[in-house]
Structure 1
Amino acid sequence: MAKTLQSTEEKVKPFRLVKYFTFTSLIVIFSGTIVLSILNTHWARTMQREESEKYALLLIENLNHQIFLQFAIPVVLKYGGISLREREQFERLDKVVRSTLHSFKVEMVNIYDMEETISYSFDKSLIGKKNYGGTAFKKALLGETVSKQVQAGNVIEFLLGIPKESRIITFAPYRAERPLSALSGPVLGVIEIVQDISDEYKMIFRFQIDVIITSTIVMTVLFLVLIFVVKRGEGIIQKRTQEKLRLEEALSRSKHMSSLGEMVSGISHEIRNPLGIIRSSAELLKKKVISIDPANTIPDIIVEESGRLNNIITDFLNFAKPKRPDFAKCHVEEILEKNIKYLSSQTEEQGYSIKKTHEDDLPAVMADFDMLYQAFLNLLINSIQAMPNGGNISIIISSIKKAVLVLIEDEGEGIPKDLSEKIWDPFFTTKEKGTGLGLVIVKNIIEAHQGSIELETRSNGGVRVKIKLPENQER
């Protein structure tokens, strides 16, 4: 009885420890979430202000362009000068400004002359006022773009980060434009744009509240789940059992792949012998058929398909029983040059271009020439097959950190994200004709040379293969 009680107490102690740890973790995580939400809100406000400033600058650039082309030039040509006191000219400018800023969220636009007098404004009561722009006007007159934020509200609103009013005021020079030139002309005045971002700040605040409420709900649910898990230790046992089963399954799969490799090797050898007889017989038959029926292509088809089947068998054998490299000093650029020459007849006829560039005096590598030739050939053929309508293949060879780096890039469709993890699986292929062993064999060859291989989709389309081989490594 005492022993059972002691055993129960020993079980309760870990449970209490986990429960206390759960409470502490909940408080820490919740506090961290609140801090992160506050920081995120601050970052969001900062980003909102920066985006508003960029937005204002783009609006001013567009407004400057439209005013100069649609107002300044036509008015000067028609009247010989600009005088906004003339009602017709003012209305024309007002129409250009409002049509340019139509549908954009702009509260106020002021246009100053060189004497800091407001010549145009959405608020007509401001027209004619002087010295209204301050320091920002002077900086804009010198060619700078100046933005400032103006807020209004009570103390509580400021503490919560939701002032009653929040505006971004941007001053930028108004310049003459030079036709057919990227250079800006002289400063003719200053444009001031006022944006009301109060609603955006309130939206950010509402988002912060939503994050806090959501975090509270999630933390509460998480706490209940953790308590439930702690009370039911069977969950841990079940996970351990599942992990054991997963390891056993992985071991079984590994044994299966090993058995499959041995079976494939045996079957491939058995097939290769009669296949050789079929091919040689087809070649003899072809010689006899030519004299009787020159148009008959059946022997050619038999020879071609026999060759394709032989290549498949070779892939199976290379996968089942990888060859041990016969290391010797060789140069990667020479191997790739041989690959390019071998493929030249095919690439020229089908519209492919393979360009190879490399550094001078590249170091040699200790490698098996024939095995690397096969690996590079497989990769180049993959690149060609990825571009059925022709395209460019780029090969770049360089030396980095006691290794030779080879980059092979094509202009195909790239690798879909959902298949990026499967491309190295044996027998996985997306081609109508293929064994799914090409990349596996390439990877085995590269790793047999203590190298590495990576495949990635380029940002502008196509695949980039990155291969690293150690230089002059003794074995």
Structure 2
Amino acid sequence: MGVKPGHASGEPYQFKRRFLCVSLLVIAVVTVLSSILLSRFLSARLLMQDAEAMRAFVHGIVVVEQASDYFLGERDQDENIEELFKHIASMPDVARANVYGKDQRLLWSSNRQIIGQRFDSNPELEEALAGKLLIKSGKVGDHDKPEHVALGNEQLRFVEIYIPVSQGETGNIIGAVEVYRLPYALFATIDQGQRIIWISAILAGFLLLAAVYGMVRRADQVIRSQQSRLVETETLAALGEIASAVAHGIRNPLASIRSSAELWHDSSEPGVHESARDIMSETDRLEKWVRELLTYSQPLEDQMTALRLPPIIHESVTSFARESERRDVRIKVQINECLPPIAGDPALLMQAFNNLIANALEATGPGGEIIISGASVSKHVELAFTDNGAGIAPERMAQVGNTFYTTKRKGLGVGLALVRRIVKRFGGTVVIASRQGVGTTVTLFLQRAY
């Protein structure tokens, strides 16, 4: 059992859907990762700038108050030192300030209860005493640290800054200042910046996805069109071989059969006229099938010229005058003689019109009517072939016009497919509308020549 290459199940490869799913996944991952990285960068940058400003402030106070001796144990605490620490504790948004000596002992704190204590398990303090400016942020309850005692509500967001204190002359680290801040305005700015980053990233992701979707949709249409043309080319190649064999093997015998039937029809023997007429009718039908196969299998040449539709329509209708009279079907032409010219080939258009009229005649019963109307709309000329025949069932409409599909008992299924092919070759389209029990309308949208 044959399957399509590269697809074991034989089903068509869903290029657009799969590509969009992969694109959506990649864009979503990139959007989330970039938003997280940018949010963290923004938060870290703003907190670092705030900490640097705090460090400069503390260093300036230590230098002005000449407090290096106090940190080195060469000076007792006095009013000036107390004032220094109060300056630090009174900085904006400061909830607590702790001052540590080189030995990690708490020299002073805005919380008097913990002055003099020593917190050995404090790696951040150790790094600060090694000369590094550290910043930590979070909620009070998220960090189980002894110095957090009595800091406040566990849901409060804080910034913990460890500021190394250096000796002015030597630059040696002589202590550290730990500051707990509750910077509501800073956190509000960070939150707003993160919201802007996420919204911008999501919008950019949607725009990128929309652009990708447009390109993929176009690529999918091109691929489907190329596949359709490839199938059509393969079909036409097979049809060409079949049609040539059929034409060679059948047309000459058909001509002989019809000639014999004509002679028989002209004879004076009673009762033979109707039988001879039936033979000629069936021979003509077989000849028409062979002609349609040959025409459909041959490549169409793009020899387009500016054509006036009314003369071609009238000529086509005239060729069906005897057939319409025999079937008792009236053909009405409602076309303005001033219709603008269209671009096409007269022989091919004549064949397309003949096929449509022939189909309408077969679908319309005695006493019926076929109306051919035309109008100029924008850059196109609309040409409609309407009959009041039996119509087409809704479940069959999707297949109407496909090669070898026919709703007629004795149809071949290439007539309407040939019409589509001819009109499409000249840059037009075919639209079929039908209601069961009411009739069918086939509308050709043909490009104007200018």
Which structure: larger Rg? 2
- Normalising to structure 2: TM-score of the pair? 0.45
